[in-house]
């Protein structure tokens, strides 16, 4: 059995796990204002949550005995934007970001979308480049964090 399971769903079903991860990563770690974090796109996006199967080594992350431990999330908007890509700090560098992004790429291909678009924090450019995204244009500030647009043709 795979170590990780990715679940795709709507906000109504994935909000508890997705919002927990986003709160930990964007609001607490990156100090993004909660009024910027939660927006009108959540109820109309497809959300993805990665669950780790098995032992969480006693760490205090969100745990559901049926699903496993929620460790990463991202969302896909109707206009092909991927956003809110977040892996809990304790689980980075283990390929989990890649797991959730590959699931989104596969999902978008199944929906016969022609491209994916995202606004990448500059520190994550190489992460997205490794998945096939290319930088478009100049960097700009969003929530006081340098970003750059990236796209990928499907
Ligand atoms: N700089 C350069 N390369 C990076 C990187 C970084 N900051 N983060 C990951 N990579 C590379 C890895 O080395 C790996 O390369 P490989 O495939 O050649 O081995 C590949 O990207 C996949 O890495 P992975 O382990 O799947 O990444 P992750 O699980 O640590 O998740 C983020 C990456 C960016 C999602 C994670 O660091 C995170 O949640 N950061 C905080 C939130 C954030 O900034 N999100 C992005 C908003 S645009």
Looking from the CA of residue 118, the nearest atom of ligand 1 is 48
Residue 60: pLDDT above 90? Answer: no
The ligand 1 site (C-beta within 6 Å) comprises 25, 85-87, 92-98, 120-121, 123-124, 126-127, 130
Q: Which atom of ligand 1 lies at the shortest distance from residue 100's CA?
A: 26
Closest ligand 1 atom, residue 86 Cα = 39
The confidence score (pLDDT) of residue 59 equals: 46
pTM of the model: 0.93
Write the DSSP assignment of the chain as a string of letters: --SEEEEEE-HHHHHHHHHHHHIIIIIIIS---HHHHS-TTGGGSEEEEEEE-S--TT--S-EETTTEEEEEEEEE-TTSEEEEEEE-GGGTTSSHHHHHHHHHHHHHHHTT--EEEEEEEGGGHHHHHTTT-EEEEEEEEETTEEEEEEEEE-
Residue minimizing CA distance to atom 8 of ligand 1:
127
Q: How far is the CA of 113 from the centre of ligand 1 (A)?
A: 24
Please report the pLDDT score of residue 53 as a whole number: 84
**What is the per-residue pLDDT across 87-124, written as a single tens digit (0 to 9) for each?**
999 999 999 999 999 999 999 999 999 999 999 999 99
Residue 130 alpha carbon to ligand 1 centre in Å: 9
């Amino acid at each position: 059995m795979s170590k990780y399971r990715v679940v795709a769903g709507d906000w109504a079903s994935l909000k508890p796990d997705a919002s927990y991860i986003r709160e930990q990563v964007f609001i607490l770690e990156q100090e993004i204002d909660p009024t910027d974090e939660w927006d009108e796109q959540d109820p109309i996006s497809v959300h993805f949550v990665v669950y780790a199967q098995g032992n969480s080594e006693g760490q205090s992350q969100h745990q559901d005995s049926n699903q496993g431990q929620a460790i990463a999330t991202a969302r896909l908007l109707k206009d092909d934007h991927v956003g809110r890509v977040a892996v809990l700090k304790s689980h980075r560098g283990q390929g989990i970001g890649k797991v959730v992004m590959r699931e989104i790429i596969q999902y978008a291909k199944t929906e016969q979308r022609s491209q994916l678009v995202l606004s990448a924090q500059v520190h994550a450019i190489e992460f997205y480049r490794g998945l096939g995204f290319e930088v478009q244009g100049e960097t700009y500030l969003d929530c006081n964090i340098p970003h750059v647009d990236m796209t990928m043709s499907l």
